[in-house]
Amino acid sequence: MRTAYITHADCLKHEMGDWHPECPRRITAIEDRLLSRGLLDLCERFDAPEATIEQLARVHDRDYLASLEAMAPSGDDYAEVDPDTYMNAATLPAARRAAGAAALASRLVLREGFSRAFCNVRPPGHHAGRRQAMGFCFYNNAAVAIAEARALGVSRVALVDFDVHHGNGSEDILSHDDSVLMVSTFQAGLFAAPLAESAAENMHNHALPKYSRGDALREVVQSNWLPRIEAFRPELLVLSAGFDAHRDDELGQLGWLDKDYGWLTAELSAAADRLCGGRIVSVLEGGYHLDALAGSVEQHVRALLAVD
């Protein structure tokens, strides 16, 4: 199972303040865990390139991209995008690396003989809409991966978004796009509610009640996600992989465990093997309790690699 691991040191330089949960230690917690368990030895490592303006402009308005550049601070200053989202001087280079990792991942699995790719990058992306940054996100990395795949000739991509928060930016960009099927789970009533249920036929959003556990996830996957993915017959699966639905993560009130992420990834991997030659691009989204994040990503990567 040829698997790519994509990251970059620039992703450690983006800072939003010592108090902020979306911190550089997320990257190192994941990498340290994967290294200590021998899983990185089973992957081929790549440094993420910076996404080009053309790659970003496939999913974001050029005026929005220019406005981010104009807002970028210098020195030790911070620029406030919203009450939860800040930029420092290193933010946009890091964000371009994160988006570039996603684009590279699509190219590796579609043209270079890889079956899987995992992008250990930040800032995350699934709250970034066509014209707006929010929720710790600046560029929509998953949407960039999908746009890159389409530029390479793919006609159908399934986006699977599992995070305690809804991927509203991905929905904004991809609604009514018949080449994309998006399925998602998130906690009901938290930040970033989905559009009206009837907004787009290619969007299938499943709000889970707070304090529900992994069995609620499994019901959605088995009764809804997998039949829809099977019927859609994608040529690529892209995962917006958030790990903040974990029981120990304080940003939500869902009760998932490390093993739930392993089970979910194994189910999606089996679907990819049946439908699209095993091709999966996984891009890191949420997950803020460092031990829970590291353990959950370990199970995620184990399932991508198909190792115990």
Per-residue pLDDT tens over the stretch 8-22: 999 999 999 999 999
pLDDT of residue 196 exceeding 80, the answer is: no
User: How does pLDDT run across 170-185, given as a tens digit for each residue?
Assistant: 999 999 999 999 999 9
Contact 142, 59 (CB under 8 A): no
pLDDT of residue 193 exceeding 80, the answer is: no
| Predicted local distance difference test score (pLDDT) of residue 109 | 98
Strands (E), the chain: 3-7, 44-47, 79-82, 85-87, 116-119, 157-162, 180-187, 203-208, 236-241, 280-284
Percent of residues, the chain, with pLDDT higher than 90: 95
| Predicted local distance difference test score (pLDDT) of residue 197 | 55
- The alpha carbon torsion through 155, 231, 115, 259 (nearest 10 deg) reads 140
- Give the residue numbers annotated as catalytic, written as ranges: 127
Domains contained in the chain, CATH given: 3-305 (3.40.800.20)
- What is the Cα–Cα distance from 116 to 1, expressed in whole angstroms? 8
Residue 191: pLDDT band (50, 70, 90) is confident
Taking residues 226-248, what's their average pLDDT?
98
- What is the Cα–Cα distance from 117 to 233, expressed in whole angstroms? 20
Percent of residues, the chain, with pLDDT higher than 70: 98
Taking residues 78-89, what's their average pLDDT?
95
* pTM higher than the cut 0.95: yes
